[in-house]
Amino acid sequence: MNIYNVWDDFKNKLVLNNLKANDFSDEMRPYLMYLLCGKKAQNRRNKFINSSFEIIDGEIRKSILLTCPDDNYRFDFEINKDKWKLCFIECVTLPLNNINEFPYNKFDSLPDKENWIRAEKTFRK
């Protein structure tokens, strides 16, 4: 199973509101099910289904980068033979597409995301 098949299968489950517990990694299941499942998540699912995307086919994680009207999102999947699991959804992705880009410490400022990161740190305490 490749990432293109995974994304098609995942989007189909979003359309049908048919994601199951075993579609998520154990550690992120409670958060991601709340975010994507049920009637209250319908608008969010529609947003993800209808957004343009780019694929990053990494060695361990396979990622889908969505460009949505409100923000950009990254969906990380693990694929094991013919099974996949959604492991993470993130809105902050550092803009590094080529590991040969130097220096690594010169990233564009992301001020709108920095507030989210600070809020997450405060929330977790």
Reported as a single tens digit per residue, the pLDDT across 55-108 is: 988 888 899 999 999 889 999 999 998 899 999 998 866 555 555 655 555 656
| For range 14-23, the mean pLDDT | 97
Number of structural domains, the chain?
Answer: 1
Specify the pLDDT at position 121: 57
What are 116-120's contacts with CB under 8 Å, separation 24+? 116/91, 116/92, 117/92
Q: Which domain holds residue 93?
A: 3-124
Strand, coil or helix: 62: strand
Q: What is the per-residue pLDDT for 58? A: 82
The pLDDT, as a whole number, for residue 20 is 97
Residue range 51-57: average pLDDT?
91
